[in-house]
Structure 1
Amino acid sequence: MNPGAPDEVVVIEAWLSEFPFPDFLEPIRERAREFEKAHPGYRIDIRGYSYEKLPEAVAEAAARGAAPAIATYYAGASQLARDARAQDGSPLFVSVEKAVAGRTEILGERVVLDDFLPGVREYYTVDGDFATVPLTLSTMLLYANTTVLRQAGIDALPRTWQETTAACEAVARLENGPGHGIAWPVDGKFIQHALAQQGALLADAGNGRYGRATELDLGSAALADYVDWWRDLHRDGHYLHTGVAEDWAGTFKALVDQEVALRFSSSFDANYMVRAAAEAGFDLEVGVLPRNGAMPCAGNWIGGDSLWLTDGLDDAVRDGALAFMQYLNSPRAAAAWHKASGSAPATYGVIALLEEEGWFDLHPHHRATAEQLELRSGPPEAHGAVLGGFHAIQIAMMEAMQDVLDGVEPRERFARAGERAQTLLDDYNAYAQGTGPLTPDCLTVRI
């Protein structure tokens, strides 16, 4: 309860991630006002924080006994949420599935947990429960200059690594064609996605989903296959390496300037890429991220953030928070959020509504995201790892890949990266378990 509010008003504090987009949270604030009208006894107080700083802010508030009812954590920071502690030392957050306790509606809001696409539900399943509800969601996709591809005799977007290589070779045979076939940023998230697609694990304990991950594996055959394919594309002149890690802007420009015909990037880029391609005067299609054609797609990397529920709340606060989570993921509210932010539609209900409205007919580039998220054959733990110190671990992988592209032998280089990453994970776990110091890498969160 808020001391300044009437006794009959239940106040739900929600601390949500701000991302670097103008007025990013305003649509969510509009949904909060709608929720309050439908539930006059409740008020939703939304406070925005940089996604990088929010876990630390929550930890400080929890230590004072003043944690919010709801807090969002970036997908790669889920271990920070698992390790967050209340003032008495108990886990700060409770599984949303456990708190729902089998109910089909809460305060009249339909529970939508079972309506999420299976891959999304599995991604946010931790310790056997649907632990946290997605708010903003993205994945990786393929962006293709189909004007150039048609000139090269390619009629369909590549869906495998092998088809991607063939498309690049066809583009290379064009007279006056792009200088390279493809570009994507040197970023650890692409390595994560490639592992998920192949059903390979980055860590023990079911990728950190069934207990704390303590051992990393950067020497798997799946990782080596992806690194070799990436290196070979570069060695053969097909992959444009800008020389800059995490060069999302540079690879965006390369596709827009038609220096390449293909680009891998986030689904959040879809609106920007389509608009830029139209202004540049070429046709652009968006497709699923190509996978290793030797096997079915097991899972996907997922980005964005999700809603965590604080444990030990009064029943009225708990149910109000849960009802608001369901409302945000109801078809109409989720459709509005997708249109405003580009967040991927993640439930069958919102996809059906967008189809019924004709949204996908007018914006076909958004179909690929749902198709990508439906590509999954399991096991469930293949959907990305849950790790502490994840950003620093990703940097170790990125630095290794940069060196491989510069000619360093990949097996030895990733072995050294594995040693560095293991040290980072060990340091984080020592901090989280109270036996080691807080290092700068422990609480670092980055997209």
Structure 2
Amino acid sequence: MRTHRWFRRDMVMVAAVLMAVSLMAQACGTPDAGTQDVSAQDVTEQTDGAAIPVRMWIAFTDYRLDWAREKAAEFNQLYPDYEVIIDGYPDYETLFDSALLASEQGNPPAIMHFFEAATQEIRDAVNPAGDPLVTSVAGAIAGRRDINGVPVILEDIVSAPRNYYTVDGEFQSMPWNTSSTVLFSNADMLEAAGIEAPPATWADVEAACAQILALPDAPSNCITWPNHSWIVEQAMAQQNELLANEDNGRSGRADQVFLNSPGMTSFMTWWKALNDQNYYVYTGSQRDWDGTRNAFIAKQVAFLLTSSSDTTDITDSGQAAGFDVVASFMPYNQDVGRSGNVIGGATLWLVDGLEQATEDGALMFMNWFNNPENAAEWHKITGYIPITNGAIALLEQEGWYEQNPNSKVASDQLAESQTTPATLGVLAGNFVAIRDVVTSTAEQLLVTPGRSVDEALETANQQANRLLDDYNALQAE
């Protein structure tokens, strides 16, 4: 997943930004498909031959931004009536603030990249006129099969992100970088310890760690993962436990979160036990994706639980360090069973109120950007799942998965998940701030000997519900 840390807005800023609830936006009718269609000839006539700018802002500044810009350049050559311009931002927080400011100034981007945990917040955000900041992608497409000749790929998007971003019965945004949590194992250490397969359950992890740490040349610890709420959310989904009421915020606005549930208690208790046994190693920093990854590559641990978005890097880096890496499903609580996992990553939102030609250009690019060829290429260079069934079929035809079996694990894990409110993922206001509560609570349990799991989670639950209450109160004003 590897999203960047959200900030807790000052209440005055929140009130200014989130002035009204956009619930009625979904009830509004969409224009007839015939009136929506703008032909390429019409586009040229409207602009007198000048290319229509379509600005897209994404929360990447590394090689992923470079790749996106390369794709934009290809699109611009194919469709010269448009000029897609992509700007990179260091994190979602900065991007969102900049988009709000641009909206106030009447010059927002056409496409915004935003992460899954803040879905409720971006749907609640409004522009200076009090209208929703973003609009439904499905509503804007309005049943069209293509946009100016670019095939619409919404119906081909794989089920997990499709289900996550379907709210109030409508596909809200265009999934892009989607991930899951997978387990990476040092295959050489497993072989040396006589372990035939990566651990599938929590009990298997403990048994494997006992064997690995008994080796003559054992690593200093056995397993690690980033202290990030997203990992905890995965464990909750696996146990089919809700994080919020109203079916995880799917059947109505959530007004209560559950950080002291049996599933949460079970996972935190197990995590703390691993830490107390020196099986788990905490790097000492919250959200430390790089530190945990580096510990695994340096052979300080045998197992790494992290985002599948790093599959390509971790597999290649392990080989460079002299060992084979094997990816497998995230271990689950054997006492409960496995219901499934939720997605991570981010999606592309269509800004509301664009000129028709600009909106169609944005829709053209969003669909072209995720066509089978581009989605397959994006998957190869990152590890994010192929977002469409067409991309998966293309990768299979190419023999990609036979040569790179680790790359298929995240897709298989999500495909095998049951569809329940728990595995759909939570929609709740202030949820990123609530994530901070979970992360801080986990840190307390890891670094404070004797800290009671039950007491820590009860305190966390109270803090999280206050955050949610404050957010919902602002929406009611």
Q: Would the TM-score normalized by the shorter structure come out above 0.5? A: yes
CA gap of 1:11–1:297, structure 2 versus 1, over 3 A, is farther
CA contact (8 A) 1:10 1:316 kept: no
CA distance in 1: counterparts of 2:276 and 2:229, whole angstroms:
20
Query: One-letter code of the match for 2:281?
Result: L
Partner of 1:72: helix, strand, or coil? strand
Deviations 1:288-316 (A, max 9, x none): 21122344543423222211112333333
Equivalent residue for 1:425?
A: 468
CA distance in 2: counterparts of 1:396 and 1:388, whole angstroms:
14
The correspondence of residues 25-424 of structure 1 with structure 2, limited to 5 A, is: 25-50=65-90, 51-380=92-421, 382-405=423-446, 406=448, 407-424=450-467
Partner of 1:287: helix, strand, or coil? strand
CA distance in 2: counterparts of 1:19 and 1:312, whole angstroms:
25
Identity rate, percent: 38
Structure 1 residue 52, shift from structure 2 partner:
2.2
CA contact (8 A) 2:236 2:422 kept: no
CA gap of 1:163–1:42, structure 2 versus 1, over 3 A, is same
CA contact (8 A) 2:310 2:382 kept: no
CA contact (8 A) 2:160 2:343 kept: no
CA contact (8 A) 1:25 1:48 kept: yes
Equivalent residue for 2:54?
A: 13
Partner of 2:347: helix, strand, or coil? strand
CA distance in 2: counterparts of 1:20 and 1:162, whole angstroms:
40
CA distance in 1: counterparts of 2:317 and 2:422, whole angstroms:
37
CA distance in 2: counterparts of 1:128 and 1:289, whole angstroms:
30
Partner of 1:52: helix, strand, or coil? helix
Equivalent residue for 1:440?
A: none
Query: One-letter code of the match for 2:317?
Result: A
Deviations 1:254-303 (A, max 9, x none): 22232221110111222332233223222211112112234454342322
CA contact (8 A) 1:143 1:263 kept: yes
CA gap of 1:142–1:340, structure 2 versus 1, over 3 A, is same
CA contact (8 A) 2:173 2:348 kept: yes
Equivalent residue for 2:11?
A: none
CA contact (8 A) 1:117 1:346 kept: yes
Deviations 1:17-59 (A, max 9, x none): 23252x4322222222322333332222323333221111122
Deviations 1:308-333 (A, max 9, x none): 11233333322222221111111011
Query: One-letter code of the match for 2:112?
Result: A
- Give the TM-score normalised by the residue count of structure 2: 0.84
CA contact (8 A) 1:360 1:367 kept: yes
CA distance in 2: counterparts of 1:121 and 1:323, whole angstroms:
19
CA gap of 1:215–1:154, structure 2 versus 1, over 3 A, is same
Deviations 1:97-118 (A, max 9, x none): 2222222222222221121221
CA contact (8 A) 2:51 2:81 kept: yes
CA gap of 1:261–1:384, structure 2 versus 1, over 3 A, is same
CA gap of 1:64–1:253, structure 2 versus 1, over 3 A, is closer
CA distance in 1: counterparts of 2:186 and 2:176, whole angstroms:
31
Structure 1 residue 347, shift from structure 2 partner:
1.4
CA gap of 1:161–1:430, structure 2 versus 1, over 3 A, is same
Equivalent residue for 2:18?
A: none
CA contact (8 A) 2:186 2:302 kept: yes
CA contact (8 A) 1:15 1:49 kept: no
Structure 1 residue 186, shift from structure 2 partner:
1.6
CA distance in 2: counterparts of 1:44 and 1:345, whole angstroms:
23
Structure 1 residue 372, shift from structure 2 partner:
2.1
Matched length:
431
Structure 1 residue 381, shift from structure 2 partner:
5.2
CA contact (8 A) 1:119 1:300 kept: no
CA distance in 2: counterparts of 1:249 and 1:159, whole angstroms:
24
Provide runs of 4+ in structure 1 moved above 6 Å: none
Structure 1 residue 410, shift from structure 2 partner:
0.4
- Give the TM-score normalised by the residue count of structure 1: 0.89
Structure 2 residues not aligned, in runs of 5+: 1-42
Cα-Cα RMSD: 2.3
CA gap of 1:276–1:114, structure 2 versus 1, over 3 A, is same
